[in-house]
Amino acid sequence: MAKAYSDSIPDQMGSDLDEAFEKARLQHRARREAAQAATARAARWGGFVRDPGYTDTLVWRSVSLAQAKGAEESAAEELQEAHATMKRLSARSNKEEARIFGHVESPTGGGEADLIDSEGCTIATSPIDKLGYYAVVTEATGESARIEIRDAQGQLAVLDGRPVELTPGLMARRDFTSGRCGKVEPAPGEPDEQVEIPDLIGETAADARAALGELGDFRISYDESYSDDAPAETVIAQAPDPGRTLMPGGLVLLGISLGPEPQQTMPDLVGRSEEEARKGLAELRYSAVQFSQVVDRKNAGRVVKQTPEAGAAVGEDTEIRLCMGVAARLMPDLVGRTRKEALEVLVPDYVDAPTIREEPGDGPADIVLEQDPKAGEAVGDARVTLVISIGRREEENGEEKVPTMPDVSGKTRAQALKLLKAEGIEEAEFDEKAARRRGARVVEQTPPAGKPLKSSLRVKLTFAKPE
């Protein structure tokens, strides 16, 4: 006997298609989680672009995040940008090039990575894509250079404290976090396997390079640091570890001793310009300089506070923070972000409490539709206003009509969620396990069908197999 909730073969096919779409969405989520796992593996090794499947999972992660926000256009842009980024990252350096690449975690996104020589001149530049990745490629001149990170408004956000030598074939990774408490964590990559790597600890850099050259054509990256226990120019760390295997052409990271660390003290930078502060730090070795801005019209463009204080000891792992005075903060681009994300960026760095105005929108609820000031405009003492979507509302006879609870009785999990989403309801409470049982349908719903839906109303569904 035919069941009450399936009167025809087309209805059953529609139900099956809805469930198939839901399974595909879960598969997308699994691929996004795989991308995050690949990112974690990549953080351990500089050769992360060789990780199998990393390109695909990163692209899927970009698309899934964009679709989760209801921004299909953004997903298409991020998909294209993800492919372009991976093409830059995965392209192997030739013998005349040096390549520095990495990831920048930033609350506002965007910006650029600049490669700066010892005289403060920009050698090469790479945009930071929406996923936070960059890849700077330049001529291998043998000179020393540093990475500088600038945000989307062009303000200096991070200055790398660990210079790199632009040697032929260099593949160096530099990861950064910019924002309220940024720091630098350069990390190496994950090897392939084939040739056994010998124990190089204690060898001179030249002997280690010769030993690797006898085993195969390996790419070698050097990470220099001070050591009280090892003479200068000797190997104090290596990756892969001794006994591990690596395919010829893979990346070997060697930690090279610079000898005992010289005594360094923090200069007095308060009152200096950004350029003067950079010159004052040029001879020091440190972890990173974190720049932040505070509204101070009298000291605009100058350091108003520094950490550590003048005269304090500075070591290779020291993080330096400089607070720069600005006439006004520049408003970040918040349109398309969620209410929570926008408030995390604004409070308390820009304002203590922005003005929130809620209006109906075509997309999902709790998304920023408009902002004042606009992106890139000065905030200063002006009030910040955000227009937040409360979901979709229809108009009837010139008056707004509040959406009502649809009748989802007898519907599958996928069908019920689809009907709710069409009314602007993104979440519903129900037993996930019961909803996924074969033949399960909605047998009870709260609120009942036809009741007006308010943004604060909680929707509850009960799933069971109809008798």
Q: What mean pLDDT value characterizes the chain?
A: 77
Residue 85 confidence class, pLDDT cut points 50, 70, 90 = low
Tell me, what's the pLDDT at 316? Answer: 79
Compute the Cα dihedral for 426, 431, 436, 439 and give only its sign: negative
CA distance 267 to 312: 8
Residue 1 has pLDDT above 50, yes or no: no
pLDDT value of position 184: 43
281 and 317, same structural domain? yes
Residue at a domain's end among 90, 120, 140 = 90
Query: Residue 61's pLDDT band (boundaries 50, 70, 90)?
Result: low
Instruction: State pLDDT tens for residues 352-366.
Output: 788 888 888 767 788
C-alpha span between 26 and 9 (Å, rounded): 26
Confidence of residue 456 (pLDDT cuts 50, 70, 90): low
Type of residue numbered 96: E
412 lies in the same domain as 369: no
- On whether residue 17 sits in a domain, the answer given is no
Output the pLDDT for position 320. 92
Q: Is the pTM of this model over 0.75?
A: no
User: Do 425 and 369 belong together in one domain?
Assistant: no
Burial class (CB in 10 A: 0-12, 13-18, 19+), 164: buried
**Among residues of the chain, what percentage have pLDDT more than 70?**
71
Q: Do 320 and 353 form a contact (C-beta atoms < 8 A)?
A: no
The pLDDT of residue 306 is above 90: yes
Identify which has the larger pLDDT, 178 or 218. Answer: 218
Q: What is the CATH number of the domain that holds 200?
A: 3.30.10.20
In this predicted structure, the answer to whether residue 113 has a pLDDT above a threshold of 80 is yes
Residue 266, domain member (yes or no): no
Q: Is 444 left (phi over 0), alpha (psi -120 to 50) or beta?
A: beta
Three-class DSSP category at 160: strand
* Residue 35 in this model has a pLDDT that exceeds 70: no
Question: Considering the domain boundaries, does residue 262 fall inside one?
Answer: no
Confidence of residue 269 (pLDDT cuts 50, 70, 90): very high
* Residue 434 maps to a domain: yes
Task: List, in sequence order, every residue forming a beta bridge with 13; answer none if it has no partner.
Answer: none
Is the domain of 281 the same as that of 233? no
Taking 80 as the threshold, does the pLDDT of residue 62 lie above it? no
Q: Tens of pLDDT along 425-442?
A: 778 889 888 888 888 899
Residue 309 falls inside a structural domain: yes
For range 203-209, the mean pLDDT? 91
- In this predicted model, which residue has the larger pLDDT, 125 or 69? 125
Q: Which amino acid is at 174?
A: R
Dihedral angle, C-alpha 262, 267, 273, 276, nearest 10 °: -40
Q: Do the beta carbons of residue 318 and residue 287 sit within 8 Å?
A: yes
Q: What is the pLDDT of residue 64?
A: 53
Boundary (domain end) residue, out of 49, 72, 90 = 90
* Most confident among 107-111, 128-132, 189-193, 302-306 (mean pLDDT): 302-306
Has residue 64 been placed in a domain?
Answer: yes
Return the minimum-mean-pLDDT range out of 139-143, 185-189, 383-387. 185-189
State whether 35 and 84 are in the same domain: yes
Is there a single domain that holds both residue 236 and residue 286? no
Dihedral angle at the C-alpha atoms of 302, 307, 312, 315, nearest 10 degrees? -110
Domain co-membership, 405 together with 460:
yes
**How far is the C-alpha of 406 from the C-alpha of 425, rounded, in Å?**
11
What are 279's two structure tokens?
């010159």
186, 173 Cβ separation under 8 angstroms: yes
Higher pLDDT: 166 or 327? It is 166
At residue 71, the pLDDT reads: 42
Show which of 90, 108, 139 is a domain's final residue: 90
Residues 6+ apart with CB under 8 A from 33: none
Confidence tier at 187 by pLDDT (50, 70, 90): very low
Strands 170-173 and 97-105, by their bridges, are parallel
**Quick one: pLDDT at residue 434?**
87
Q: How much is the pLDDT for 207?
A: 92
Task: Report how far residue 285's alpha carbon sits from residue 118's, in angstroms, rounded to the nearest whole number.
Answer: 13
Torsion angle in degrees (nearest 10) through CA of 367, 430, 414, 408: -100
Confidence of residue 17 (pLDDT cuts 50, 70, 90): low
pLDDT of residue 129: 80
pLDDT at 42 over 70: no
Residues 204 and 235 in one domain: yes
Q: How confident is the model at residue 332 (pLDDT cuts 50, 70, 90)?
A: confident
- Per-residue pLDDT band at 111 (split at 50, 70, 90): confident
C-alpha span between 339 and 190 (Å, rounded): 38
More confident residue, 452 or 447: 447
Residue 298 lies in a domain: yes
Whether residue 331 has pLDDT greater than 90: no
Does the pLDDT of residue 410 top 60, yes or no? yes
Residue 306 lies in a domain: yes
CATH number at residue 379: 3.30.10
**Domains in the chain, number:** 5
Q: Identify the domain containing residue 315 by its residue range.
A: 274-326
